Copies of this chain bind each other. A is one copy, B any other.
Amino acid sequence: QTLTPGQHDVVVFAVLAAAFALLAHTLHSWRSASEVGVRYRPAVVAALCIGAVATVSYALVHHAVDTGFTLVDGVYEPGEPARSSLFTRYVDWSVTVPLLTVELLAVCALAGARARRVRASTMAAAFLMVVTGFVGSQVVAEGRSTGALVGWGLVSTAFFGYLYVALVGAVRGSRGSMSAESFASLRNAAVVLLSTFGVYPLVYAVPVFVDVTPSWFVGMQVAYSAADVVAKVGFGVLVFKVAKLRTAEDL
């Protein structure tokens, strides 16, 4: 789609602001990891890895938007690199969503074999959810086949359902093992993560229902960027708080 300069600037703003916020989150996680006890350290290290991967991914998306559109007669014409402004995001998620489940589980109170099983199965479900969504939205007919979008979207949603139920169960099951204050923060973190999860399938479904006009394209880019910042930075800050509270309680 051709974009007006204003629309183009909104997309660049959203993508670059997300990259900057993720860079800040990466440095914060790096510098502050030593403030939490060794037991909860994996949560902060996961946040660090998520931040770094997503920062690089957003740098690539920024490059795609920057070089993918050329200003001709006052409007921005899309070129070939513009495609990867959407699909690079799936690559990011295929690594970061499994790590987000690690981050959440590392401050829950599951132990031993049960913890390992839940972690392995949620990581696998998260990965398969993203990969099957990628097949529907990009690989089959470049995402222009409604049948493929719906079919692969449903497969992806099945993994999503499993993931959702397993994470809610892990958080619920942690109630008895920590102070009310820690549990309240853990609950907030889980609510933030799981509610942003709802944004992604909605944006995925946009082309099923409407013709993707330039305004829809802008809306999709802004929604994905905002959701990524909330799910990675906002959630990360709340998990850090749980880790610090639980560290203080363990002394």
Contacts and interface: CB of A to CB of B under 8 A. Distances in A.
A95 B17 contact: yes
Interface stretch (A133-141, A173-181, A195-203): A133-141
A45 B16 contact: no
B53 A24 contact: yes
Contacts of A50: 24
A187 to B, nearest CB: 17
A23 interface: yes
Of listed A33, A138, A141, residue having the most chain B CB within 10 A = A138
Interface residues of A, number: 50
B16 A28 contact: no
Given A16-B91, A87-B13, A134-B13, A23 B52 contact: yes
Of listed A80, A95, A99, residue having the most chain B CB within 10 A = A95
Contacts of A242: none
Contacts of A23: 49, 52-53, 56
Q: Give the copy number.
A: 2
Interface in A53-97: 53, 56-57, 60, 70-71, 80, 83-84, 87-88, 90-92, 94-96
Interface of A: 5-6, 9-10, 12-13, 16-17, 20-21, 23-24, 27-28, 30-33, 35, 38, 41, 45, 48-50, 52-53, 56-57, 60, 70-71, 80, 83-84, 87-88, 90-92, 94-96, 99, 134, 138-142
A9 B56 contact: no
Contacts of A57: 20
B49 A41 contact: no
30 contacts: A6-B138, A6-B139, A6-B141, A6-B142, A9-B138, A9-B139, A10-B139, A12-B91, A13-B87, A13-B90, A13-B91, A13-B94, A16-B60, A16-B88, A20-B53, A20-B57, A20-B96, A23-B49, A24-B49, A24-B52, A24-B95, A24-B99, A27-B45, A27-B49, A28-B45, A31-B33, A31-B48, A35-B41, A70-B80, A71-B80
